[in-house]
Amino acid sequence: MLFAFLTYEMLLIPAGTFQMGESEGRHEVTLTEAYWMGKFEVTQALWKSLMGENPTATGHQFWNGEEHAACAVYHGDSAVGDDKPVTCISFLQSAEFANRLSMKDGLKPVYEIDGKDVRWREDANGYRIPTEAEWERAARGGLDTTYVGTSVPKEVCTYGNVRDASAAKLDITTDPFPCDDGVPQLATVGSYKANAYGLHDMIGNVLEFTWDWHAPYPDAPATDPRGPASAEKRVVRGGAWIGKVHKAKVSFRGVDAVDVGGRALGLRLARD
């Protein structure tokens, strides 16, 4: 069983045009080329096999730049497992992981990393962190719904591990979704219904890094956007098992620093 979590399965996402964002930030985005997207979030087993340690078990989680409780404490006794998503990782660690997985699979690493500076090599064919537009197109699955796969709040637990009745019983969360998946904290990857593109856990479980620096959306239609050249924090997407309900929207944009392990941050990879 462990071997299954030491490989990284990907699905092809078609090129096309879609409406990205919500309300005042809504705008048309065109992705001109198809791309590969991870079917699942990166597991603890795969991360440890390349990075040498499992931050979900050994790391500490940060919030607003301050170190808090150990990651395993925050996510619960059952958080550690080969089949669970890795979490409490940083953007810089994620870029290094993508490079190592590329080398393992005989691909050219995408990133040149110098301290906190990460540069995208255009001639590389390896694994990379998806752009924000790639992430949202993949998450929507060709639909225009509020959440992944549905606009009905009571159906959200079908598609992902969100802030539901089970999470609310832990007395660390309030105002849950009106549904219950029976999983109070981190869930095994692939435990929920896939979206229309066949991707699992695009909502809930752990937040996922994107390549883009955070900035307001453009006022005009965009083609193959990658965000600004620099800013203070990177965009994270997808909500988490403990995230507030509005953070589970497919359009929600979170932010996090590049060099510390955010308390509910995980990873899904893409490829050209």
pLDDT tens for 185-195 read: 899 999 999 99
Q: Where are the domains positioned within the chain?
A: 2-271
Instruction: Give pLDDT, residue 4.
Output: 53
pLDDT tens digits for range 16-35? 999 999 887 899 999 999 99
Quote the CATH superfamily of domain 2-271.
paralog of FGE (formylglycine-generating enzyme) (3.90.1580.10)
Q: What does the mean pLDDT of the chain come to?
A: 90
What is the rounded (10 degree) CA torsion for 178, 197, 85, 185? 10
- Which has more confidence, 239 or 109? 109
Q: Which are the contacts of 101, defined by CB distance < 8 A and separation ≥ 6?
A: 8, 46, 50, 126, 127, 269
Q: Which are the contacts of 225, defined by CB distance < 8 A and separation ≥ 6?
A: 29, 131, 132, 133, 212, 218
Structure tokens at 73: 């404490």
- The backbone torsions φ and ψ at residue 172, rounded to the nearest 5 degrees and listed phi first, read -120, 5
The pLDDT-based confidence of 72 (bands split at 50, 70, 90) is low
β-pair partners for 16: 31
Residues 233-240: what's their mean pLDDT? Answer: 93
Q: Which of 1-5, 22-26, 177-181, 187-191 has the lowest mean pLDDT?
A: 1-5
The pLDDT-based confidence of 261 (bands split at 50, 70, 90) is low
pTM here is 0.93
Residues 261-267: what's their mean pLDDT? Answer: 82
Distance CA 180, CA 178 (A): 7
Q: By CB neighbour count within 10 A (0-12 exposed, 13-18 middle, 19+ buried), where does 115 fall?
A: exposed
Q: Which are the contacts of 107, defined by CB distance < 8 A and separation ≥ 6?
A: 124, 125, 126, 127, 271
Contact predicate 40/9, CB 8 Å: yes
Q: What is the DSSP letter of 192?
A: S
Range with the largest mean pLDDT of 29-38, 71-80, 235-244: 29-38
Pairing of strands 222-223, 27-31: parallel
Instruction: Give pLDDT, residue 1.
Output: 45
Residues 49-58: what's their mean pLDDT? Answer: 91
Instruction: Give pLDDT, residue 62.
Output: 55
The pLDDT-based confidence of 45 (bands split at 50, 70, 90) is very high
- The backbone torsions φ and ψ at residue 68, rounded to the nearest 5 degrees and listed phi first, read -125, -155
CA 145 vs CA 51, 90, 136: distances in Å: 37, 30, 11
pLDDT tens digits for range 112-124? 999 999 999 999 9
